[in-house]
């Protein structure tokens, strides 16, 4: 498909092999876009895929180039406003414009109310909400200057629509914030033909939350792989379509929202969850 030819897409949080960002980047490239892939690290220090020869952003770059599109990898801490601004300047020097921004970078750090620290709260908000704002602000300013319109797509969560216990409060608060940011940006940027939407996946078997999983496994005297399998089976049993959200499911929705077929959709928060959540 060539519906994104001559477009440049910037995807944050793209270094993990099993993550949404990897799947989104390759899908948008297959649809014709040149891709800027961004992460805090070229290869995450926590990425277990390194043992399988995974090279983080470099591996994603190779996959994009294999489908015939240009790829550019850049590292940036999106919680630092000055780094985000400098990153956007570097991208513009390379590609001259950014047409699509996918705010995918996220953390999911757990903490029940009696144990949650300031640091856990701050990190969830800083990456998931403030980082999304910093990237959106920097890219939207350039979209307005270039007068080409554009698409901003935020990866939120079904936990941005319904609260959850079990130590998810900080993550939920950050993702609820992303939905409010999405609606407000959509209203402000409509004048410039910039559409802003959110994608809300349910639980996926990615590396997000691995550290918490390992901690919980130790507390239960289990292997983290056993606990993950237990949680996965519980989530599958609860899902009407009988499976977890796959990175490809999220990438498919992002590709649609990035295309001209979605030109009349803005300010929406679209569920990708197999029917697990059917409201809001």
pLDDT in tens, 85-129: 999 999 999 999 999 999 999 998 888 899 899 999 999 999 999
pLDDT confidence band for 83 (50 / 70 / 90): very high
Asked whether 220 and 227 are in contact (CB, 8 A), the reply is yes
Q: Please give the average per-residue pLDDT across 129-155, as a whole number.
A: 98
Angstrom distance (rounded) from CA 58 to CA 235: 32
Nearest CA to 154 among 185, 125, 126?
Answer: 185
Q: Please give the average per-residue pLDDT across 67-84, as a whole number.
A: 98
pLDDT confidence band for 214 (50 / 70 / 90): low
pLDDT tens for each residue of 7-52: 999 999 999 998 999 999 999 999 999 999 999 999 876 666 676 7
pLDDT tens for each residue of 229-251: 777 788 888 888 888 889 999 99
Instruction: Respond yes or no: is residue 41 known to be catalytic.
Output: no
Name the strands in the sheet holding 194-201, side by side, starting at the edge strand that comes first in the sequence.
71-75, 34-39, 8-12, 100-103, 150-155, 194-201, 269-272
Catalytic-role residue among 41, 171, 192, 264: 171
Angstrom distance (rounded) from CA 260 to CA 242: 32
Give the dihedral sign, CA 239/235/181/116: positive
Only one residue has tokens 């030109």, namely: 263
Asked whether 42 and 58 are in contact (CB, 8 A), the reply is yes
When the pLDDT of each residue in the chain is averaged and rounded to a whole number, the result is 91
Nearest CA to 210 among 124, 108, 104, 120?
Answer: 108
Asked whether 28 and 254 are in contact (CB, 8 A), the reply is yes
List all residues 6 or more positions away from 166 whose beta carbon is below 8 Å from its beta carbon.
110, 112
In this predicted structure, the answer to whether residue 205 has a pLDDT above a threshold of 80 is no
Angstrom distance (rounded) from CA 280 to CA 260: 25
């Amino acid at each position: 498909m060539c519906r994104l030819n001559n477009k440049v897409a910037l995807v944050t949080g793209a270094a993990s092999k099993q993550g949404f960002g990897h799947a989104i980047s390759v899908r948008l490239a297959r649809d014709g876009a040149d891709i800027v892939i961004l992460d805090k690290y070229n290869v995450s220090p926590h990425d277990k895929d390194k043992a399988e020869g995974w090279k983080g952003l470099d591996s994603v770059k190779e996959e994009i180039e294999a489908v015939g599109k240009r790829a550019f990898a850049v590292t940036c801490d999106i919680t630092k406003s000055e780094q985000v601004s400098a990153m956007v300047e570097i991208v513009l020097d390379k590609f001259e414009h950014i047409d699509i921004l996918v705010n995918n970078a996220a953390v999911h750090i757990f903490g029940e109310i009696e144990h949650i620290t300031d640091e856990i709260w701050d990190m969830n908000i800083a990456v998931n909400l403030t980082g999304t704002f910093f990237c959106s602000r920097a890219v939207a300013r350039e979209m307005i200057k270039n007068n080409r319109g554009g698409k901003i797509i935020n990866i939120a969560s079904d936990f941005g629509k319904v609260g959850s216990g079990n130590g998810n409060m900080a993550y939920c608060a950050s993702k609820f914030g992303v939905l409010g940011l999405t609606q407000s940006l959509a209203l402000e940027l409509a004048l410039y033909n910039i559409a802003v939407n959110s994608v809300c996946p349910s639980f996926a078997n990615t590396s997000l939350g691995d550290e918490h999983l390992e901690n919980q496994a130790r507390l239960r005297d289990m292997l983290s792989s056993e606990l993950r399998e237990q949680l996965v089976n519980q989530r599958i049993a609860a899902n009407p379509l009988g499976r977890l959200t796959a990175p490809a499911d999220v990438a498919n929705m992002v590709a649609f929202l990035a295309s001209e077929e979605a030109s009349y959709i803005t300010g929406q928060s679209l569920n990708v969850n197999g029917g697990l959540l059917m409201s809001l």
